[in-house]
């Protein structure tokens, strides 16, 4: 069986890493990079750090407005899909690469599987929200990270092929956690627990001088230094808007995945408009201040580890300087490689480098069953008993990998 994964941004690389390790040896796996994030040096470091192979196809689409960028990806991906003829296409998250992969696959034979399905912020003015909804409604398999995501899909009439898999980003973080080097803090002149980490890259914040200016002014009011690895859009916006960067804000180049996690782990607080960073902060026990008015991860807010402040200058300062009453954390996103959020335990190794389980993904399903190694993987088959016989080599008894 052949599985083709479409990636295009650095968060995609992170999410695809544990999936790639799980698929290794179980099937033929083709990796396609759209080039939506096109920093060759940083991309190379991500692939090396995450221990995933270089892409089989690099489309090198680069930056453009939503319409032209998606159109270029769609055209190139259609050609790749026809040449590779995969059985399954995996798309991740909510970017233009995600949508292009979904649209390119939807009218072709392969099964379309969406990792991180059902996530919603309920604001259609956010481009990523449109990408999520369209991708979910085109998909055959929907891997939802939480029960909330499952409920969101059901509310939209999507129930077939849906399973709560837990969050694959947690699998990636558990793998990375023992590989972190706290020495990166020395490079930025900060010490553990005595700095704020920030990311600001959403167009909603960077394209509006009032919003971006309020964020920077709030940071300038803090007694602690702020480390801000800056997305190119952020740097361009600061210059274009003529904004001043406060003296305590260290505007630095983007950092690698492991270096960013080390900075996040050592930070007193993180202020971000990134969905992935909010979850990573939750996993690493770092209180998070979200520079948006809504979130796709309400579980972090309900647990008391994330506060939504938008770009209100006073609210940002208060959230970053107040004492946080942090109780015991729930596990809304599963427990990584150990347990599915549904509560059913599987006898699997906690070592994701071991030979993966066999994988079976087929069309025309009446029932979804799941197993996993690094990713909790969904399996579709007419006979629910067929998928019960997972093994470390070969395929489930009586099942077809076609």
Q: Which residues are marked as active site?
A: 201
> What is the residue whose two structure tokens read 């470390």?
392
Q: By three-state DSSP, how is residue 89 classified?
A: strand
Q: What angle do CA 97, 153, 135 make, to 5 degrees?
A: 15
Distance, C-alpha 386 to centroid of its chain: 31
Distance CA 402, CA 86 (A): 10
Spatial neighbors of 270 by CB under 8 A, at least 6 apart, are 196, 197, 198, 199, 264, 277, 281, 286, 287, 288, 289
Q: List the beta bridge partners of residue 372.
A: 376
Q: Beta-carbon neighbour count of residue 40 at 10 Å?
A: 10
Question: Taking a C-beta distance cutoff of 8 angstroms, is the pair 124, 156 a contact?
Answer: no
Structure tokens at 275: 């969905």
Helix extents (H) in 24-164: 40-50, 66-84, 96-106, 127-138, 147-155
DSSP-derived secondary structure letter, 87 = S
Q: Which two tokens stand for residue 239?
A: 């210059």
In the chain, DSSP finds a helix count (H) and a strand count (E) of 15, 15
| Radius of gyration of the chain measured on its C-alpha atoms | 21
User: What token pair was written down for 316?
Assistant: 């940002």
Tokens 């990584």 map to which residue? 336
Select from 136, 140, 170 the least CA-distant residue to 156: 136
DSSP class of 356: P
Which residue matches tokens 């940083």? 42
């Amino acid at each position: 069986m052949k599985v083709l994964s479409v990636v295009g941004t650095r968060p995609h690389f992170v999410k695809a890493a544990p999936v790639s390790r799980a698929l290794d040896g179980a099937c033929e796996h083709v990796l396609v990079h759209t080039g939506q994030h096109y920093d060759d040096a940083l991309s190379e470091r991500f692939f090396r750090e995450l221990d995933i192979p270089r892409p089989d196809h690099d489309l090198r689409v680069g930056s453009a407005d939503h319409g032209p960028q998606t159109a270029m990806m769609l055209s190139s991906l259609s050609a790749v899909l026809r040449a590779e003829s995969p059985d399954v296409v995996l798309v991740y998250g909510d970017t233009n690469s995600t949508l292009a992969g979904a649209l390119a696959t939807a009218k072709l034979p392969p099964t379309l599987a969406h990792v991180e399905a059902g996530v919603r912020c309920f604001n259609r003015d956010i481009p990523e929200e449109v990408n999520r909804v369209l991708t979910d409604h085109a998909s055959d398999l929907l891997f939802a990270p939480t029960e909330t995501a499952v409920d969101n899909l059901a509310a939209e009439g999507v129930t077939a092929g849906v399973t709560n898999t837990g969050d694959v980003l947690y699998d990636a973080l558990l793998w990375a956690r023992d590989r972190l080097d706290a020495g990166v803090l020395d490079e930025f002149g900060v010490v553990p627990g005595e700095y704020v980490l920030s990311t600001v890259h959403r167009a909603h914040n960077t394209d509006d001088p009032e919003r971006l200016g309020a964020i920077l002014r709030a940071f300038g009011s803090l007694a602690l230094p702020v480390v801000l690895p800056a997305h190119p859009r952020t740097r361009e916006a600061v210059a274009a808007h003529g904004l001043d960067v406060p003296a305590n804000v260290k505007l630095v180049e983007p950092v690698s995945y492991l270096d960013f996690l080390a900075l996040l782990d050592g930070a007193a607080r993180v202020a971000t408009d990134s969905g992935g960073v909010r979850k990573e902060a939750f996993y690493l026990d770092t209180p998070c201040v979200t520079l948006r008015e809504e979130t796709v991860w309400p579980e972090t807010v309900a647990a008391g580890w994330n506060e939504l402040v938008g770009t209100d200058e006073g609210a940002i300062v208060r959230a970053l300087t107040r004492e946080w009453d942090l109780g015991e954390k729930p596990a809304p996103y599963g427990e990584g490689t150990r347990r599915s959020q549904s509560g059913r335990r599987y006898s699997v190794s906690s070592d994701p480098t071991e030979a993966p389980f066999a994988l079976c993904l087929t069309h025309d399903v009446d029932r979804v069953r799941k197993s996993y190694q690094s990713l909790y993987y969904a399996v579709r088959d007419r006979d629910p008993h067929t998928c019960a016989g997972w093994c470390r080599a070969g395929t489930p008894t009586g099942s077809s990998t076609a």
